[in-house]
Amino acid sequence: MIIREQTDVLLKEARKAADMAYVPYSKFRVGAAIMCADGSIVVGCNVENRSFGLTICAERNAIASAITQGKIKFTAVGISTPDSFEPVGPCGACRQVLSEFMPPETPVYFAGNGPDQVNTTIGNLYPFDSLHELKK
């Protein structure tokens, strides 16, 4: 799959996942789509709780779903925040979790509902990843 097709597919699937988000408090939907090494896509959405610390982010939800399916190798991530005009990147906890399962060169795409989109990598989102630094 060429990069543009990959980006479009992941962001489309992430947007569909965002539509399923449970966000009665923030009203801020997030969807994530993770491309697995076998070419399949696993999605997740954010699930809020009135105790915000118990909220589950879309990216971590997608990773957990993939792992329950026996998938642990991933090749790209798409994140959609349709309630924001501007693209919104993953939170720090999600950056940490994504870096656990993906090498620094893994592509990450994120978009809001405006025309802009960010195309970056795990390494750019999380540049001083101790897990990978310690392996050197």
Catalytic (active-site) positions: 59
CA distances, 63 to each of 2, 42, 113, 114 (Å): 23, 8, 24, 26
CA distances, 118 to each of 23, 65, 66, 69, 135 (Å): 24, 24, 24, 28, 29
